[in-house]
A and B are shown apart, each in its own frame.
Chain A
Amino acid sequence: MRTSIIIGFLAGIAGALALAYTAPFLPHDRVRSETEVRTNGGRFEQFEVAGRADIVSLLPAGGNAQTEAVPSGARWYPDLAPFSGEAAVYRLRNASGVVIGVASRVKGVESPDDVQWVLHIPARGTIALKGAGIGDAEIGSVVAGEREFAGLVGEWQATAKPNGGWRIETLVIVPEPPSSLQAAGDRS
């Protein structure tokens, strides 16, 4: 009896430490990337904001009564003047509809049409997009990235859906470092 209690005690310690080491209460699953590699080497990826149900918050531009705020009753904050643009946070899905991250979008930081998105995908990293709005579409370039998206350059396009959602498409490449031959030529 005494031996089994001692063995149980040691097993209890070992079990608790193993549990703390593996931290099973912190699931951190990585959803498979749905990036397509194009023939020119570019990497295409499509993200989705499914619709109004994916809006975490939306502050319409000051005085814009056409866009409904989320949560209802939220209003633009006059304290933020001179920024009077639009700011929103969305659940971000991959092309299959799985929520893989969160997207932050602001419009009108520098001019009424400028727009920027920061797509944060916890399992992969963060990518920042800047551009301009043209009708229901927005286009621009990839300006910065972190972790998996570090160093990427490319273009993006976002299209607004009638239900309040978005389709965001990015086409990026990893810039090749100059070859030693090119570098020598550049120096001469």
Chain B
Amino acid sequence: MRIIIGFILGFIPGALAAVLLMLHNPMFDGDAPRVASGDGLELAVHGQDAVNVVRTSSGYPWIPAEPASVVSPNVEGMRSAVRVVLASTATAGEDDTADGVAYIARVSTLTREGRPLFGELIEQSMWHVVVPGGGSFFVVGEDDLWGFVRRMVLPMARGNDFRGKVAFETTIGPVRGGGRVIGLSGEFEGLKGSSELSQMVRRASLGEGVTDAESTLHVSF
């Protein structure tokens, strides 16, 4: 009996020590190095995570359904999220003045390809983008959310709403240079390019999700 009690007394602090080591391991800060953007397009989503149309998820604690009536994606065996938003568009490499609005349907899934043990939490995303008067394209990207989860979600899970300013550069693939962009119609038809996602979060809570943030998808053809 003493052996079992001793084992349990040792097991719990051992597990906690390993978790603390993973969370505070400076080798894995979870932020990918920024990829240089060439000429292209910037799609910026401002404000309350741009809940223009809907956001919904199955298993993303920081993406509650909004509006409440929206159905969740419920992809079998996956943690997945859908966001349908409007984004302001600007030409990359010039001033940041928005020159239009784009429609974006974004589908994200947390995968098992990254390992939290190595500071990775990989999310695959597909973006279907319509630029009015320009055309359409889709993007597939892989983002490492470990930095976001470590610096924001875990503190929020302890009951601390986040207020501040944290920037994330998350895109790590699937190709060297970031996400893969494939043109579908209009001026983008036949074009291929790359993308990277940067995010700035100012306010978030587990109950309401990210309520003040700016996400920018940099697209280069």
Contacts and interface: CB of A to CB of B under 8 A. Distances in A.
Interface of A: 1-17, 20-21, 23, 26-31, 53-57, 59, 70-74, 77, 79-83, 87, 89, 91, 98-102, 104, 106, 109-110, 114, 116, 118, 120, 122-123, 126, 128, 130, 143-144, 146
Contact of A126 (B17, B76, B114, B140): B140
Contacts, number: 221
Nearest to B132: A83
B11 A122 contact: no
Interface of B: 2-19, 22, 52-54, 56, 67, 69-71, 73-80, 82, 84, 86, 101-103, 105, 107, 109-112, 114-117, 124, 126, 128, 130, 132-133, 135-136, 138, 140, 180, 182, 184-186
Contacts of A89: 54, 82, 84, 105, 107
Given A5-B10, A77-B52, A87 B130 contact: yes
B7 to A, nearest CB: 4
A9 B14 contact: yes
B183 to A, nearest CB: 9
Given A13-B15, A26-B110, A116-B185, A31 B84 contact: no
A128 B185 contact: no
A81 B131 CA distance: 10
A16 B19 CA distance: 7
Interface of B is mostly: mixed
Given A23-B116, A83-B133, A109-B186, A120 B126 contact: yes
A118 B9 contact: no
Contacts of A146: 140, 180, 182
Contacts of A16: 14-16, 18-19, 22
Contact of B130 (A74, A83, A123, A143): A83
Nearest to A101: B75
B11 A91 contact: no
B9 A21 contact: no
A114 B185 contact: yes
Contacts of B126: 102, 104, 118, 120, 126
